[in-house]
Structure 1
Amino acid sequence: MGLDALLQPLEIRNLKLKNRVIMGSMHVGLEGLDNGVEKLTEFYKLRAKYNTGIIVTGGAAVNEAGSGGTDFMTIYQEDDIERWKPLTDGVHQEGGRIALQLFHAGRYAYKALTGIDPVAPSPLKSPINPDVPVALSHEEVVQTIDDFAQGARRAKEAGFDAVEIMGSEGYLINQFVSPVTNQRTDDWGGSFEKRIAFSLRISEAVREAVGDDYPVFFRMSGLDLIEGSTTEEETIRWARELEKTGVDVLNVGIGWHESRVPTISMKVPRMNFVSVAEKISQSVSLPVVASNRINDPRDADEILKKGNVKLISMARPFLADPQIVQKAIDGRFDEINTCIACNQACLDHIFDMKPASCLVNPEAGRETELKLEKAAAAKKVLVIGAGPAGLEASRVAAERGHSVTLIDEKAEIGGQLNYSKIVPGKEEFYETLRYYRVQLELLGVDVKLNKRLEENDALIEDADEIILATGIVPRTPEIEGVDSPAVISYRDVFEGKKETGDNVVIIGGGGIACDAALFLKNKGVKSITLLQRGKSFARGIGKTTRWATIMELKQKQVKMIGGIETYKNIEGSSVSFHIEGKEQSIQADTIVLAAGQLVNNSLAEKLEQKGRKVTVIGGAKHALGLDAKKAIYEGAVTARKI
């Protein structure tokens, strides 16, 4: 399949892009680590190496109050010019282009991290921040405009090929534009014209600071998804006014961090917000960028062929696969490690103050640590279990030159990922399974399915190294009557082994229990009740998606009963329990157990008794707190040690 539109060059002032792909801005948190500049440089170099059109960095604070935290890029000191030259030099050595994003967090800045009161147009606290911001004075507004301009000048001197002004996602500039956060009555607030004045003056000042030969991108909010915020008509007017200031490209962002509408999780359909950028593009003559939930180069090409937007921004897809553009150029689409928009290792890490990585690609953000080198001597490696840990261990071991055999008693690879893929809104896991299936075939891994190994099997005797990744077994809680015929495991639900009827009780309230509830609702089950001892449901799910899961459960009228002190018994298909000392019972057609997991390492114990060294990873090693992110990471690390 040709990608004529996506691979078309584009000139922006003095900058020639080799294609229409932007690696969108992401804060990855590497800057604050030891040797942070080196780590960040290697991160960007790898993505520049494989024909990315242009990279946009994570936000670089234009002044001290604008920083998102201690591990953010900065561009407000003259020393920052020399600090970032190794990064721009490294990207250029790989044949790449890179733009610096000029950033101010506004009321999203945390005083606990910066030591400074956050600032904003008005002293209105964000619902996702504990701090009440201080309203900028007129003089401080003027100074902040100059801070953006000086940051742009420094970026140019540091070797960046362009700058992008961050005016989206609810950060400071966006806060000035919105009537929800800007309640000023001076020259910088009130009417729409005054609310957008801050952004226009910044754009003009940046253009003056960098000259006529230097590209300036502006990331504008195309849709705030905040009640009472900027209207569609105002957004179009804003875009037209920005064009007059001399910016070269409008990059359209969607939603604020405090929005209660999902915008980038896997539950959001692919290309869901492209129409927003297309509508803006019809009102301006500038190149407009579409973004959000575009993770397949073929989709990107189709968007561009329509002739509205001129560029496509993909951010997290470059975490999942640094070679995404090169593989697309080569027509190797099945080899792309597709971003599944799970948020578990990228956004969830960032909001927990950890460096970003990627569930499906644990090498992301660890380029200086998880290097893949050929093995000194090829070995026969036996991997038992084809769940996420076993799949990654097999892939890495084979890529290093080992002869790998992968065994699983199931009929297909993937382990519990095969449950996730059939949950409504989680179909992207099909892509991960496709990626591994293709990689194992290309690397010559001998995959043997429908095979259960015993400790005396010839494959075990013949192996130089054994990796056990047999996963978990569901935990059966100690409840009187739990062996009732009406009681089944969540595995039975996902594997379709038993009909549940219209009224189901699920014992458990974690991620698997929630997935089972949504799966059953999608199959037409009328009444579902989740029971658990804890009061917090969907625990274990990352904070960027947990709220959306709970919201979906409520929308689908799934009952959630927490705070259970004891389960009295299960009698037939009725479960009885105590809350605050009072007994309650619920009658159901089926009771589903989704109350935790136990390690499945019995084979490892038998082999170790026979004197064989076995490396246990994934759920076979620790069931508590296990997820695909941890399992794939362990597979990646283990296979590098052989």
Structure 2
Amino acid sequence: MLYKELFRPIKIGSVEIKNRIGMAPLQPIGLVNPGDDCYSPRIIDYYVERAKGGVGLIITGATEIENDIEKSVPGIYPSIATNPLRFIGSAGELTEKVHSYGCKIFIQLTLGLGRSAPPEWIVGQPVAPSPLPNHWNPSVICRELSTQEVEILVRKAGEAAEIAAEAGFDGVEIHAAHEGYLLDQFMIARFNRRTDKYGGDLLGRLTFPIEIVQEIKKRLGIGFPVQIRYAIKSFIKDWNQGGLPEDEFEEKGRDLAEGLEIAKILEQAGYDAFNADASSVEGYYWAHPPEYQKHGCYLDLVKELKRVVNVPVLVAGRMDLPEVAHKAIIEQKADMILLGRGLLADPKWPKKVREGNIQQIRPCLGCHDGCLTRTAILRPLSCAVNPACGREKDYGINRANIVKKVMVVGGGIAGMEAARVAALRGHQVLLFEKTNELGGHVREASVPDFKRDVYRLLAWYENELQKLNVNVNISREVSLEQVVEEKPDVVIVATGSKYAFPPVPGIDKGNVATATDLLLGKKACGDSVIVIGGGLVGCEVALWLKKKGKKVTIIEKRPNILTGGSPLSHAKKTMIIDLLNFYKVDVITDAILLEIREDGVEIRYSEGQMKHSILGDTICIAAGLESDQELFKQIEHVIPNSYLIGDARRVQNIMSAIWDAYEVARNI
């Protein structure tokens, strides 16, 4: 076995876990039972699918222990408080099913969000250790919790743990960190200005988490596992400003030295394990690392934690590359690895690693589109590359009763997904791509070093299509006559999109290149580059060019960059903005492109009439794409069963292309 250390058992407290692979806690927003906030059939199916896939431990998303002190909007969390008896019933069904696969399951308990709570998630005034501005809306001042209220929360944590044990959970995790939630705020001097027993010096600030573990152990015994999700370092650069991995700054939250000191105290208090990360609501891209963070982004910190504690250390943080996960165990940087979004993308990750089928693992892109971007607007948790995530039983792929000849035109992401799903349905599938390789615009998107997971996705699709014996035809542009000649039962048109060129003088000059041209090396790039368009493509190309040593200027017609196109998660958006600032990419907004010249461009600010010249050797066009529907318009009235999907239907993102294709193909 190639990665055998991942499959050795481990004990947390008195509980033995069959391997070193766990499911990290992810909030199942949109999947709870409306009305009683219990586990819905969808949540149960979601967790069971990961247990079937071979994880040794599942840690649930945050579960509410009370709803009077910090009253949340119904339906966001599973809640023990809303209806404890119904909760035990639904949770009991979950734990029974998970245990059937030899998997242990811990419930994560939250003490509340404090200043990190989005105001729209809270009924009434938010709370905090001290009167603090809310992170998301600083005009909202959080109310300071009374001593009695904190004592109630301690008692409620003990009661919740008892209910969890009765429901069959094998242990509990106390949610102390990750976005700097309420309990974490109590531990940080910047946010805790109290003068009672829960404030003051370091031990005073730690009284709250210490009393929680003592209360649970008093009720359930010393052997019942209680672990803590804990941020070793906050990465707070300033109020509402996180710190980048590359940046050197004075930590305004918890620094590494204090983080290690606190961990030793919490271990002595009785915590059986640390689910360790580095995060705060300011450092949101640490709490939820996007593709710009490296795989294993917490490991350098976690190895320091492991050096000072004697209980198991668990680590998440883009651990979904098997070689990174295995190396972390071998080098004793951690005792167990946790996968969050990696298991959304592929629930069978552990099974595939154990069997040596690494090339069959569907990679997580770190894009956040199906998970964080959706849950931020209270849509159900899912995954960009796995549309069945969160609706496993309702939205799977079954064999078709009648085999059909399915012709897919276009070999980008949408076309490949349509071909894959149609083949899984048992259909005869022909895939046509006019260029000499599959991938479409995603091919060039995979070039930057921070987009290598996109390349892994392309490799996964190529492997899957080969495994499913899809008839792939590259360098074959398809006409209406060829479609008619093939006599397909169904045609899926996934012809993608093409560049939208701004209609300005000089657009056809030799110094003009598309983002595709530069990424694929089709055109030479000068030392200074002007990127036209401040959407995601423009910003990522600008960052890539700057890292290659170019002088880069972004010109955007809107008041701010990253405001057009598909929505982005807060973590992804703030990190790329911080990266552009850190690497000193010049950004000009509210600017209208007037002309492209040999030595640069001429612009006018939207509020003025004066023209301005911006010098640059190469003009990179990244001002958007437009759908290519030419073939579909020819065939839609000739071939009755014809479908338009992906960018050809509407230019959006990878998730939209995959979800389009999945929906159409699974119903053929």
- The residue aligned with 1:120 is 128
Query: Cα–Cα, structure 1 residues 3 and 398, in superposed 2: closer, same or farther, change >3 Å?
Result: same
* 1:303 partner amino acid: A
- The residue aligned with 2:244 is none
How far does residue 403 in structure 1 lie from its aligned partner after superposition?
Answer: 1.6
Aligned mates of 1:46, 1:188 — CA distance in 2: 41
How far does residue 603 in structure 1 lie from its aligned partner after superposition?
Answer: 1.1
After TM superposition, where is structure 1 displaced by more than 6 Å over at least 4 residues in a row?
Answer: none
Choose the corresponding residue for 1:38, options 35, 38, 41.
41
Within the alignment, does 1:534 sit opposite 2:558 as a pair?
A: yes
Within the alignment, does 1:90 sit opposite 2:82 as a pair?
A: no
Choose the corresponding residue for 2:330, options 305, 318, 321.
305
Moved more, 189-198 or 129-138: 129-138
How far does residue 172 in structure 1 lie from its aligned partner after superposition?
Answer: 1.4
Aligned mates of 1:320, 1:384 — CA distance in 2: 26
- The residue aligned with 1:584 is 612
Aligned mates of 2:39, 2:8 — CA distance in 1: 34
- The residue aligned with 1:142 is 151
Percent identity, please.
30
How far does residue 309 in structure 1 lie from its aligned partner after superposition?
Answer: 2.5
- The residue aligned with 2:16 is 16
Aligned mates of 2:485, 2:589 — CA distance in 1: 46
Aligned mates of 2:233, 2:7 — CA distance in 1: 28
How far does residue 574 in structure 1 lie from its aligned partner after superposition?
Answer: 4.1
Moved more, 310-319 or 486-495: 486-495
How far does residue 616 in structure 1 lie from its aligned partner after superposition?
Answer: 0.5
Aligned with 1:554: secondary structure? helix
Within the alignment, does 1:153 sit opposite 2:162 as a pair?
A: yes
- The residue aligned with 1:204 is 214
Aligned mates of 2:324, 2:88 — CA distance in 1: 38
Superposition pairs of residues 182-197 of structure 1, within 5 angstroms: 182-197=192-207
Aligned mates of 1:492, 1:110 — CA distance in 2: 42
Moved more, 45-54 or 497-506: 497-506
Contact 2:314–2:335 (Cα < 8 Å) also in 1? yes
Contact 1:108–1:118 (Cα < 8 Å) also in 2? no
Aligned mates of 1:554, 1:276 — CA distance in 2: 25
Contact 1:384–1:407 (Cα < 8 Å) also in 2? yes
Aligned mates of 1:261, 1:29 — CA distance in 2: 19
Query: Cα–Cα, structure 1 residues 212 and 519, in superposed 2: closer, same or farther, change >3 Å?
Result: closer
Aligned with 2:452: secondary structure? coil
- The residue aligned with 2:657 is 631
Aligned with 2:48: secondary structure? helix
How far does residue 135 in structure 1 lie from its aligned partner after superposition?
Answer: 0.9
How far does residue 611 in structure 1 lie from its aligned partner after superposition?
Answer: 4.3
Within the alignment, does 1:50 sit opposite 2:53 as a pair?
A: yes
Choose the corresponding residue for 1:249, options 269, 273, 285.
273
Query: Cα–Cα, structure 1 residues 192 and 459, in superposed 2: closer, same or farther, change >3 Å?
Result: farther
Choose the corresponding residue for 1:74, options 79, 83, 90.
79
Aligned mates of 2:27, 2:116 — CA distance in 1: 14
Paired residues, number = 638
* 1:107 partner amino acid: R
Aligned mates of 2:333, 2:451 — CA distance in 1: 30
Moved more, 396-405 or 276-285: 276-285
Choose the corresponding residue for 1:238, options 235, 259, 262.
262
- The residue aligned with 2:494 is 469
Query: Cα–Cα, structure 1 residues 551 and 220, in superposed 2: closer, same or farther, change >3 Å?
Result: closer
Contact 2:108–2:174 (Cα < 8 Å) also in 1? yes
Contact 1:509–1:532 (Cα < 8 Å) also in 2? yes
- The residue aligned with 1:167 is 176
- The residue aligned with 1:524 is 549
- The residue aligned with 1:293 is 318
* 2:21 partner amino acid: V
1:53-112 superposed Cα distances (whole Å, 9 cap, x missing partner): 010110001111456643211122533323422222332344432111011222223443
Aligned mates of 1:424, 1:448 — CA distance in 2: 29
* 2:610 partner amino acid: K
Contact 1:167–1:174 (Cα < 8 Å) also in 2? yes
Within the alignment, does 1:597 sit opposite 2:625 as a pair?
A: yes
Aligned mates of 1:83, 1:116 — CA distance in 2: 29
Contact 2:445–2:454 (Cα < 8 Å) also in 1? yes
Q: Which runs of 5+ in 1 are unaligned?
A: none
Query: Cα–Cα, structure 1 residues 91 and 14, in superposed 2: closer, same or farther, change >3 Å?
Result: same
Q: Which runs of 5+ in 2 are unaligned?
A: 237-250
Aligned mates of 1:4, 1:49 — CA distance in 2: 19
1:430-487 superposed Cα distances (whole Å, 9 cap, x missing partner): 2111211111111111222122112222685232211111110111222233233333
Aligned mates of 1:635, 1:358 — CA distance in 2: 14
Aligned mates of 1:120, 1:186 — CA distance in 2: 14
After TM superposition, the score normalised by the length of structure 2 is: 0.91
Aligned mates of 1:496, 1:553 — CA distance in 2: 22
Query: Cα–Cα, structure 1 residues 95 and 69, in superposed 2: closer, same or farther, change >3 Å?
Result: farther
Aligned mates of 2:597, 2:312 — CA distance in 1: 66
Contact 1:398–1:443 (Cα < 8 Å) also in 2? yes
Contact 2:31–2:381 (Cα < 8 Å) also in 1? no
1:524-556 superposed Cα distances (whole Å, 9 cap, x missing partner): 322x22222211102344322112112222223
Aligned mates of 1:13, 1:371 — CA distance in 2: 37
Contact 1:5–1:304 (Cα < 8 Å) also in 2? yes
Aligned with 2:594: secondary structure? strand
Choose the corresponding residue for 1:325, options 343, 350, 356.
350
Contact 2:405–2:429 (Cα < 8 Å) also in 1? yes
Aligned mates of 2:561, 2:485 — CA distance in 1: 42
How far does residue 571 in structure 1 lie from its aligned partner after superposition?
Answer: 4.2
After TM superposition, the score normalised by the length of structure 1 is: 0.95
Moved more, 136-145 or 81-90: 81-90
What is the RMSD of the two structures over their aligned residues, measured on CA atoms? Answer: 2.1
Aligned with 1:56: secondary structure? strand
Within the alignment, does 1:133 sit opposite 2:142 as a pair?
A: yes
- The residue aligned with 2:595 is 569
Within the alignment, does 1:108 sit opposite 2:133 as a pair?
A: no
Contact 1:607–1:613 (Cα < 8 Å) also in 2? no
Within the alignment, does 1:342 sit opposite 2:348 as a pair?
A: no
1:297-328 superposed Cα distances (whole Å, 9 cap, x missing partner): 33222211223522111111110100001111
1:355-389 superposed Cα distances (whole Å, 9 cap, x missing partner): 22111212112224312111111112111111111
Aligned with 2:6: secondary structure? coil
- The residue aligned with 2:226 is 216
Moved more, 44-53 or 214-223: 214-223
- The residue aligned with 2:513 is 488
How far does residue 609 in structure 1 lie from its aligned partner after superposition?
Answer: 4.8
Query: Cα–Cα, structure 1 residues 611 and 537, in superposed 2: closer, same or farther, change >3 Å?
Result: same
- The residue aligned with 2:438 is 413
Aligned with 2:195: secondary structure? coil
Contact 1:30–1:40 (Cα < 8 Å) also in 2? no
How far does residue 425 in structure 1 lie from its aligned partner after superposition?
Answer: 1.5
Aligned mates of 1:87, 1:210 — CA distance in 2: 21
Moved more, 90-99 or 175-184: 90-99
- The residue aligned with 1:5 is 5
- The residue aligned with 1:615 is 643
* 2:46 partner amino acid: F
How far does residue 229 in structure 1 lie from its aligned partner after superposition?
Answer: 2.1
Contact 1:128–1:258 (Cα < 8 Å) also in 2? no
Aligned mates of 1:142, 1:201 — CA distance in 2: 9
1:18-51 superposed Cα distances (whole Å, 9 cap, x missing partner): 1111101000213346696111111111111122
